[in-house]
Structures are given as C-alpha cells and as structure tokens.
Amino acid sequence: MAERKLTLTDSESGKTLDLPVVSGTEGDPTIDISRLHPELGLFTFDPGYGATASCKSDITYIDGGEGILRYRGYPIEQLAEKSSFLEVAYLLLYGELPKDTEFARFERDITYHTMVHERINSFMDGFHYDAHPMAILSGVVASMAGFYHDKLDVNDPEQRDLAAKRLIAKMPTIAAAAYRHSMGWPNAYPSNSLNYSERFLHMMFSVPAENYEVNPVAAKALDLLFILHADHEQNASTSTVRLVGSTGANPYACTAAGIAALWGPAHGGANEAVLNMLNQIGDVSRVGEFVKKAKDKNDPFRLMGFGHRVYKNFDPRATIIRKACHEVLDELGIKDPLLDLAMELEKIALEDDYFVQRKLYPNVDFYSGIIYKALGIPTSMFTAMFAIGRTVGWVSQWLEQSATPHRIGRPRQVYTGAAERDYVSIDQR
C-alpha cells in the first residue's frame, strides 16, 4: 500500500510539500513535520501540545474517545482486578508480565532498596514541620543525586536500571517520612517482611508505643490506587521528566522535576483540590451554587476532578475508583458524607449542558481522595500518594527514552515582542 502522506501547499510561495503520515500500533495517525521548516521555512504552532506527539512509546495507550487505558497492551480493568502494583511496575519497566522467578528477584531488589541514607533523614529535619509533603518530596528526591553520585552514568543501562529501582523503592519511604515529620513522630524504617503497599502503611502509621497491624483491606485499596496512577503516557509530569532527561540530567533530577510538575492543581494536585472543594461545598444543597461558579467564565473556580485533555469520555480509572470507594468504605465500616456529595455533584454536572457539551467527565482525581481519607491519609498527602504510583511511569518512560537515540527537547515559539530597535540612553528616555 502506498505510503500515506499529507500534501501541503503554501499559498504565499506556491510551494508544495508531501509530509509522511506515521501510524503506531493504535491511535490517531500523526504527520511527520521534520521537513516542514527545512523545505517551507514554516514551524507549527500548538500551545499546550494538544495535537502534538512528542515521542514514540511502547508503554501506555490511551483512547480518550473510548475511555481506554492500557499498560503495555493490558487493559487497566484487568490489571486493576488481577495484578499487583509491583507486578505492574515490572510490566511498565520491562514490557512483559514477569514469570514467578523474575518477579521474586524484582520484588527482592525493590525491597532491599527501600531504606534511604541516614543523612537524608537529617536533611528532612531542615524542613519546617508544616512544609507541604510535595515540597519535601521534590527537594529530597533531587538531593538523592548527592548520595548516589557514583552511579549516575545515564549511558550505562545497569546504572539506569539501578536508579529506577532505587526511586520506586524509596519514594514511599520519603513520602511516609514527610508525613511523620509533620506529625512530629520519629522516623519509621521500612519493614522487609511486608509487601510494597503494606510497608508504606506501616511506615506511615506505626508508632513506637504500640504494635501496628496493617489492615489488609487498606493495603489492597492502596495497591489498586498505585496501579491506577502508575502511568498515563505523555501527561504534563511525564513530559517534564522526558524533557529534563533529554538534556542528559540524572534520574533523580528528572524525577524531582516530575514531582514539581505533578504538584500543580491542574494535574496531580487536583486530588487534594477535590477534597478541599467538597469540604468547601459542604452540603448537597450547595452543589448547584458551585456548578454555577464552575460555568462562570468570570469565576476562576473549576470543578476539580472534572475534565481531561485526552479523555472526552469517562476516565476508566475514575470508574474503577468510584466502585472501589463503595467497597472500601463498606469493608472498613465507614460512612463518608463526602462520597454522597461527590456522587450528587457528578450526577448534576453530567446532566448539565455545559459539561456535556465540553465532554467534561470525572477524572482519576475525583474519587481517589475519598479512599485516601478513609485510609487515614491527610489531604496534604494526596498528591504525594499520586507521586508514589506515578514514579513507576516516570522512570519507565525515562528508561525508554534513555535507551533510544534522542535529541534534546527544544520547542520553538511565535515571537510577538518588539521588532529591532536601538538603545536609548536614560537621559533621552
């Protein structure tokens, strides 16, 4: 079959150019514009990169219209039901589900990298007690380059793999330490006898004064949330990790940049913003007032946890989390009026023309906070929870980019500033 192409004609120069159309395994075809500037002297303009593919990737596929999310070809619904976070981590990192011996070795590697250098704990002491956990996470992760400087050769596959495992293993340890710092509690060290999610809950909530038993319902719910947050193709924080990685920066600097990007309320910070919004609404009787604010162009208020750049249908993760909300709260015997409020808010919004026309549906952040709250995790830690799961996606995408030939990322611009002009001395101005 003849190669598909797009033929452009420049009305000014009369020149025409055939641009190849590139298709992947699935998804919308893309136009390879690499010859556009050399041949026609033209750049493309796509603020927010809404229609621009920044890379080729084998890791995650999303179909926004159909509400599809697959990790290495496996539907998120199947992984959520049948897999575990650490098995999903292996899948995202290496492309295949592990055999039992492969998984055992991977789990042992992660387990034995969960501790952080003791100096990192004293570094953490420098933060004010009420520092936001994401400020601590980004600062401490960036500092890790200072502790592992002997293994930072990004051109060495073994050192890349070690850094990836260190980041996956230590993120929960650092996040839990940030929480304990805010509580004024002594540090809790990782327990190798527990699995990934159990170990995190133990590090978060155990206190020296008494024995702490991990609730299996809570650990299972957390493992599910980590799976659902693990990767999401070229979102803002992952694109940040790739851009920083394209300069050859070390993986800790790349991941710290990803954490910073995730913190924004338009991105991973939305889960914290949703809980704050639900508490602000307070009662079902006020839902209409806030939906009205969300529709008012003169009001900066947005319905947090609603809308998505790619999903113009239900975010499949939101569907899974909404179902899990009911199951977890029932199993824990918790009645949370905020869940009823969220359900009512969703119902009213999805019947409102403004949201229907703009295809604004609940996204991954809309319900996740309800479960975190039920597990006793404070709102300020919600985005740090997102970061723990997404670390797997960040390092998987960083490994993929690092292992393939790539150029430094360097977008162009449309310059709209002053034309050339001469300097005027201050006495002439």
Binding mask 252-271 for ligand SDX (x = CB under 6 A): --------------xxx-x-
Closest Cα to residue 410, out of 286, 244, 256, 253? 244
For ligand SDX, give the closer residue by CB, 202 or 322: 322
As a whole number of angstroms, the distance between CA 44 and CA 8 comes to 13
For ligand SDX, give the closer residue by CB, 48 or 333: 48
For ligand SDX, give the closer residue by CB, 205 or 263: 263
Within 13 Å and on the Cβ side, how many CA atoms surround 104? 3
Contact window for ligand SDX (CB under 6 A) among 37-45, 150-158, 361-369, 371-379: 361-369
**Is 306 near ligand SDX (CB under 6 A)?**
yes
**Is 302 near ligand SDX (CB under 6 A)?**
yes
Q: Of these, 164, 218, 225, 360, which contacts ligand SDX (CB under 6 A)?
A: 360
As a whole number of angstroms, the distance between CA 117 and CA 357 comes to 52
Q: What is the DSSP letter of 132?
A: -
Of the residues 365, 406, 422, 427, only one is catalytic, namely 365
User: Where do we find the tokens 């650490």?
Assistant: 86
Of the residues 308, 315, 336, 353, only one is catalytic, namely 308
Q: In whole angstroms, how close is the CB of 267 to ligand SDX at the nearest point?
A: 4
Name residue 7's beta-bridge partners: 18
Run of H or E including 179: helix 157-183
User: Where do we find the tokens 């799976």?
Assistant: 227
For ligand SDX, give the closer residue by CB, 297 or 335: 297
Residues between 39 and 78 with contacts to ligand SDX, criterion CB under 6 A: 48
Contact window for ligand SDX (CB under 6 A) among 16-24, 113-121, 298-306, 330-338: 298-306
Torsion of CA 131, 132, 134, 140, to 10 degrees: 10
For ligand SDX, give the closer residue by CB, 91 or 310: 310
Q: In whole angstroms, how close is the CB of 307 to ligand SDX at the nearest point?
A: 2
**Is 278 near ligand SDX (CB under 6 A)?**
no
Q: In whole angstroms, how close is the CB of 428 to ligand SDX at the nearest point?
A: 45
Within 13 Å and on the Cβ side, how many CA atoms surround 361? 19
As a whole number of angstroms, the distance between CA 226 and CA 237 comes to 16
> Is 406 among the residues known to form the active site?
no
Written as one letter, the residue type at 388 is: I
Q: In whole angstroms, how close is the CB of 377 to ligand SDX at the nearest point?
A: 18
**Is 396 near ligand SDX (CB under 6 A)?**
no
Q: In whole angstroms, how close is the CB of 88 to ligand SDX at the nearest point?
A: 14
> Is 422 among the residues known to form the active site?
no
**Is 98 near ligand SDX (CB under 6 A)?**
no
User: Where do we find the tokens 């033929």?
Assistant: 7
Q: In whole angstroms, how close is the CB of 360 to ligand SDX at the nearest point?
A: 5
Of the residues 109, 267, 336, 352, only one is catalytic, namely 267
Strands 68-71 and 74-75 turn out to be antiparallel
**Is 172 near ligand SDX (CB under 6 A)?**
no
Contacts of 65 by beta carbon, 8 Å cutoff, 6+ apart: 312, 313
Q: In whole angstroms, how close is the CB of 399 to ligand SDX at the nearest point?
A: 18
Run of H or E including 31: strand 30-31
Q: What is the DSSP letter of 426?
A: G
Q: Of these, 232, 242, 322, 373, which contacts ligand SDX (CB under 6 A)?
A: 232
**Is 164 near ligand SDX (CB under 6 A)?**
no
**Is 364 near ligand SDX (CB under 6 A)?**
yes
CB 67 within 8 A of CB 313: yes
Handedness of CA 302, 305, 306, 308 (dihedral sign): positive
As a whole number of angstroms, the distance between CA 426 and CA 83 comes to 69
Closest Cα to residue 61, out of 82, 81, 75, 80? 75
By CB atoms closer than 10 A (0-12, 13-18, 19+), residue 195 is middle
As a whole number of angstroms, the distance between CA 112 and CA 166 comes to 9
**Is 346 near ligand SDX (CB under 6 A)?**
no
> Is 267 among the residues known to form the active site?
yes
**Is 294 near ligand SDX (CB under 6 A)?**
yes
For ligand SDX, give the closer residue by CB, 20 or 27: 27
**Is 226 near ligand SDX (CB under 6 A)?**
no
Active site residues: 267, 308, 365
Contact residues for ligand SDX (CB under 6 A)?
48, 232, 235, 266-268, 270, 294, 302-310, 358, 360, 363-365
